[in-house]
Amino acid sequence: MQDGTITIRQTKFFKTRILPLPDSVVVELRAYIDARRRAGGSQDARSGLFWHERGDGHYTPEMITWLLADVIRRAGLKRLRGKTGPRVHDLRHSMVVNRILEWYRTDINPQDRLPFLATYLGHRDINSTLVYITVTQDLLHYANERFRAVGAPCLNLRQEVRS
């Protein structure tokens, strides 16, 4: 917590990575860790971050999926029964699109940042990350504006050279 990062251990393909966290997330994680300590959770830095009082105290991937789906249902984004509505994996799509939109809004070229985004998601390269870029109207608008500012003048120069 001191350096504002979190270590994600043994993910898919047994990879480990260190991810930066926004200050607001660090504040909430510190509060959670304090509550976990008061509830009797492990204080070992190598133990899993998310803990519960039953069983061995670890959450399985299936439990996480069920809990997140329950939160999505309680928020009214998904019906109480059935599979209609957002899936847990859709959170990755939303995060990727919102990150790219924020880069456009702050005048950062998303193309330059895709390798960092791939690493954040645990991908070896951007090819796996591209799957998560859901084309939205906002994303098309910003991409179009970037092309108008950067690409279109290049096309006009080529047309002037030809004439």
pLDDT, tens digit, for every residue of 135-156?
Answer: 999 999 999 998 888 877 787 7
Q: What is the DSSP letter of 54?
A: S
**Model pTM?**
0.70
For residues 132 and 92, is the Cβ–Cβ distance under 8 A?
yes
Q: Which residues of the chain, if any, have pLDDT below 70?
A: 13, 53-57, 157-163
**pLDDT tens-digit profile of 92-101?**
899 999 999 9
Give the residue from 143, 133, 70, 124 showing the smallest Cα distance to 98.
133
